[in-house]
Amino acid sequence: MLVPKLPLVELIGGQLTAAIERLGVEVRTGQVVRQISPDRNPVTVTTADGVGHHADHVVVAVPWHAVHDLLPSGAVEKAEFLNNSPASPISGLHLWFDRQITDLPHAVLVGTVAQWVFRQPWEDEQASSGFYYQVVISASQSARCLPRQELIEIVMAELQHAFPRARRAKLVQSKVVTDPKSVFSITPQFEALRPPSRTSFPWLHLAGDWIATGWPATMESAVISGRMAAASLVESEFGGKLEVEAGLARNWLSRQLIKA
């Protein structure tokens, strides 16, 4: 398990983007793609400002629920079902206290509504707004139906039980954020729909944590999907078959859990 030491906006939005640009790649953000034309003379990707961009190959890396509207018809079998596949919400409770409630950078709570607790790991943690912690609740279908104040009170009681210092701490600010379509719900039906990167068009490839990586909705899956898209593109352009590493080998505990 890795916990980033920098905010993702800096790590991915800043440093990773800069590293890619140093390789000679032009990165353009804030461009919504509206259409990908099915003709190859040349392939045209049209953005929301009406501008057409020509390409030899296109990698579509939008989430599973946005892909059907973009793909030319017939590109991916059963793409219309992906669109309606169920999503799973994740809720984040952003909490600022007047003092530290724990020194632990990260904790997992078991049998509680709160699941993951992260302490802000970077230097300016004692900002004027207080000591910041984030509580994350995955698959938060039930939690997100609770009134905001009630959810905060439940989580506060759980934090006070787990971390005695939280009993003396004053909550100075809080924010609850839920994205209802955070991740795909990994049902057997969804698993059966997950496509490879290759599509029926040799110039069109898929990426995204939801393609057939064998992983649930995680950053690992997203990274593997990117490698699958690169392999698909190279195979289509130059022929041959490229192997893509499937990620970490399953350890003893995972094998036992999966068997059970």
Is residue 204 close enough to count as binding ligand FAD by CB under 6 A?
Answer: no
158, 206, 209, 213: residue in contact with ligand FAD (rule CB under 6 A): 209
- Which span (79-87, 148-156, 212-220, 242-250) binds ligand FAD, by CB under 6 A? 212-220
CA distances from 7 to 17, 171, 211, 221, 243 (A): 14, 22, 27, 21, 33
Q: How does strand 171-184 pair with strand 87-97?
A: antiparallel
Is residue 61 close enough to count as binding ligand FAD by CB under 6 A?
Answer: yes
Q: What single DSSP character describes residue 198?
A: B
Backbone angles phi, psi at 203, to 5 degrees: -100, 0
Alpha-carbon distance 125 to 131, whole Å? Answer: 6
Interface size with ligand FAD, residues (CB under 6 A): 18
CB of 70 to ligand FAD, least distance (A): 6
CB of 169 or CB of 176, closer to ligand FAD: 176
CB of 40 to ligand FAD, least distance (A): 21
User: Order of strands, edge to edge, in the sheet holding 43-47?
Assistant: 33-36, 43-47, 52-55
CB of 48 to ligand FAD, least distance (A): 8
38, 57, 62, 234: residue in contact with ligand FAD (rule CB under 6 A): 62
Is residue 33 close enough to count as binding ligand FAD by CB under 6 A?
Answer: yes
Is residue 90 close enough to count as binding ligand FAD by CB under 6 A?
Answer: yes
44, 46, 66, 112: residue in contact with ligand FAD (rule CB under 6 A): 66
Alpha-carbon distance 186 to 189, whole Å? Answer: 8
CB of 62 or CB of 162, closer to ligand FAD: 62
Taking residue 204's Cβ as centre, other Cβ atoms within 10 Å add up to: 25
- Which span (56-64, 71-79, 101-109, 194-202) binds ligand FAD, by CB under 6 A? 56-64
Is residue 166 close enough to count as binding ligand FAD by CB under 6 A?
Answer: no
Question: In this structure, is the dihedral angle defined by the CA atoms of residues 7, 10, 15 and 20, taken in order, positive or negative?
Answer: positive
Is residue 83 close enough to count as binding ligand FAD by CB under 6 A?
Answer: no
Tell me the CA end-to-end span of the chain in Å, nearest whole number. Answer: 23
User: Order of strands, edge to edge, in the sheet holding 171-184?
Assistant: 106-108, 116-119, 131-137, 87-97, 171-184
CB of 195 or CB of 208, closer to ligand FAD: 208
Is residue 32 close enough to count as binding ligand FAD by CB under 6 A?
Answer: yes
Backbone angles phi, psi at 87, to 5 degrees: -105, 160
Task: State the residues that interact with ligand FAD by CB under 6 A.
Answer: 32-33, 61-63, 66, 90, 92, 179, 182-183, 208-209, 217-219, 221-222
